[in-house]
Amino acid sequence: MVQFAQSSVRRGPDPAYSILVLAPRDQTYRAIGRTEDNTWIEVCCVEGQVGWISAKLIISADDLTTLPLSAAPNALAVVDGFNVALFGDPSYANPSIATIPLDTKMEITGRNGTEWLRVTLPTDAIEGWVYSGAVQIDGLVDTVPIIDNQ
């Protein structure tokens, strides 16, 4: 049970993940998982999907440390200000291979270690690179593997 009003239920177990909903006090969710350090609890179902809430914000009669471990969802790149170009390599030197429209959410599958993110378009599974400054990141990009740009 949520013990504080307006408690953030997030897409993943960290403040870097977007807020799915602000849960009212006494809202109940079914606990289905936890982080290894027991600081975040995965809950179901929040607006039709699983969410995460800080263990500090909930009370439970059950021992939440016995829940199965759950992995955090992959980070997303979200086009939030204007259309964004998708490139075949992490460089503006090459022509773009697609234009990604506003509000598109793409799974981040890799990064080049500096400013470029490897993403997969959700509609047609095209993979390519976007400049990180051109998108909003939803999640922990530091956990995304650094990959070669080939």
pLDDT of residue 4: 82
In this prediction, residue 93 carries a pLDDT of 93
Q: Across the chain, what does the average pLDDT equal?
A: 93
Q: How is residue 98 annotated by DSSP? A: E
Domains observed in the chain: 7-66 (2.30.30), 76-143 (2.30.30.40)
**Is-contact 69 33, C-beta < 8 A?**
yes
Give all strands of the β-sheet with 49-54 in edge-to-edge order.
19-23, 7-10, 49-54, 40-46, 30-34
Q: What is the pTM of this model?
A: 0.86
Give the residue carrying structure tokens 């609890």: 41
3-state secondary structure 10-29: ECCCCCCCCEEEEECCCCCC
